[in-house]
Structure 1
Amino acid sequence: MAELLFCEPTELYNILNQVSKLSRLAEPNYLCLLDVRSKRQYDESHVITARRVKKKENQYLIPESVDLECVRYCIVYDSNTSSLELCMGGRGLWEEEEEEEKEEEEKEEDIELLPGPAVEFGQILTHITRQPVYVLRGGTECFSGLYHFFRTQKIIWMPQELDAFQPYPIEIIPGKIFLGKFSQACNARIHKDLKIKAHVNVSMEATPYFAGDADKLLHIKIEDSSDSNLLNSFRHICHFMELHLQLESVILVFSTRGISRSSAAVVAFLMHYNEETLKRSWAHVKKCKNNMRPNRGLVAQLLEWEKIIHGEYITDITEPVY
């Protein structure tokens, strides 16, 4: 029997935006996103790539072609589930639409404790797979409130459409710090949707945003090379990002591909900001962005940064994770 776990809205956002060479949404066994709301709610809008789970004679029907044993992420959501335990409600969301025309018979004192639809269906799935099953915390109400740009009415996604899907920057600290690549930093739609107010540009190229505005742009010009020295800029980067967090500005940290230099900058900031080891900060960024890969020279500089912060080397960078 598999575990039933929560998936935070930020986690789903990051899952939707992972890339290898192309968007990982194009991989058939990467994400199975299941919507257990009513047909009316699903048709009004749902999270991109989500499939509606139908219910017949009080039984949930798993969508065809879903092989739960092979899926990396299986995530179920309803409107607003906030607990994996029991929740209030004499009827689930499924029954709301079906019984709209029926006379209301239940009294408030008769309301029972029942699992929400996402939890109910998730519990069923745990009995037919060994992989963890996730329930989206807060459902569509929470997720759409944070990421309205991922709502859609589109039901069928062709493989070429998923190949062409343009991901957003990865969210490192919810609503505060994003990690991305140069093309995303030049995208007006991304700036508007994420409310980006400051840039940390760790590349040789310049973007059209915040040009000449030193209060909103920190441009660290270094090559993508293991010989490049980013260590001398770590303190400046941390000061700039801390200042903008105090101002409640949303920060986008980026480099050409968003994999090496900018990832190292974000790891360095987390080490400083949270007074963490290199290992812990690295693990957090790696969890958010699967393909982060600072080069060996930058990893060695992060280790030196750890010594500056903690007074000693703590992390063993010879471990395979590095």
Structure 2
Amino acid sequence: FLFISDARTRREYDESHIVTARRIVQSPTGEYLVPDSEELRCVRYCVVYDCETCSLDCCEEEEEKGMNKEPALASSFLISLDAEEGTAARHASSLAQFTRWPVLILTGGYRRFSACYHFLRTQKILWMPQELDNFQLYPVEILPAKLYMGNFKQACNQQVQKDLKIKAQVNISEQPVAMFAEGGKDLHIPVPDSLEADLFSSFPAICHFI
């Protein structure tokens, strides 16, 4: 589902990298070695990053054959005019011919990402299947460093609260629960977990609280 490639040097990768990221290997002639192509075809999100890539655009050429609406192979990878063609962009170009979806570049590279999400840095290289199954998932970021949407388990996790610097929470459930060990503000909206539940009438109170 997610494949992360690190296009930096071996020294930089060993110092720290994004959790589960794999380092891109180069041949003696300087060419980038593409990982298992069959694995890449099954990946929905293929992300490449280097030290500090600025920006780029990805596009995908669609091929329509009859009624077949399956996504075509990502056969083109365009860099915006104001972007520098760095290591990540060059490697993404080589990966694009093996993926069913456009290859994504991490804007700002590792430098910007690690500054915002320092808790997702690691020196660990090998991951056991059980470790990946038990990996701590974080809430979805709605507004960068300001607003998140998660589940009850994440809301009560003190490590998540600390990493994301969460100071207030909106609890949308039938039962009022103290989600902060100490401090913090919370708003309880008693709404049943149902598709027919009325959330719209509570929006003014939620927006005012936020």
User: Is 2:6 the partner of 1:38?
Assistant: no
* 145, 156, 169: which one aligns with 2:126: 156
Q: Secondary structure of 1:60's partner?
A: coil
Note if contact 2:53-2:84 (Cα within 8 Å) is conserved in structure 1.
no
- Cα separation, 2, equivalents of 1:150 and 1:125: 24
RMSD, matched Cα:
2.5
The alpha carbon displacement at 1:63 in A equals 2.8
Counterpart mapping for 1:1-322 below 5 A: 30-56=1-27, 57-64=29-36, 67-84=39-56, 85=79, 115-203=85-173, 204-209=175-180, 216-226=185-195, 228-241=197-210
- Cα separation, 2, equivalents of 1:139 and 1:209: 33
**Structure exhibiting the larger radius of gyration computed from Cα positions:** 1
Note if contact 2:92-2:105 (Cα within 8 Å) is conserved in structure 1.
yes
Q: Secondary structure of 1:32's partner?
A: strand
- Residue type at the aligned position of 2:42: C
Runs of 5+ consecutive residues of structure 1 not aligned to the other structure = 1-29, 89-112, 242-322
TM-score relative to the length of structure 2: 0.79
- Cα separation, 1, equivalents of 2:94 and 2:52: 19
The residue number in structure 1 matching 2:64 is: none
- Cα separation, 2, equivalents of 1:240 and 1:129: 43
Note if contact 2:119-2:163 (Cα within 8 Å) is conserved in structure 1.
yes
- Cα separation, 1, equivalents of 2:144 and 2:180: 22
- Cα separation, 2, equivalents of 1:51 and 1:212: 39
The alpha carbon displacement at 1:158 in A equals 1.4
More helix by share: 1
Note if contact 1:32-1:66 (Cα within 8 Å) is conserved in structure 2.
no
Note if contact 1:185-1:207 (Cα within 8 Å) is conserved in structure 2.
no
Q: What are the superposed Cα offsets for residues 232-274 of structure 1, whole Å, 9 maximum, x if unpaired? A: 3221111111xxxxxxxxxxxxxxxxxxxxxxxxxxxxxxxxx
- Cα separation, 2, equivalents of 1:37 and 1:66: 24
Note if contact 1:68-1:131 (Cα within 8 Å) is conserved in structure 2.
no
- Residue type at the aligned position of 1:234: F
- Residue type at the aligned position of 2:13: Y
Point out the more displaced range, 55-64 or 220-229: 220-229
User: How many percent identity over aligned positions?
Assistant: 51
TM-score relative to the length of structure 1: 0.53
- Residue type at the aligned position of 2:131: E
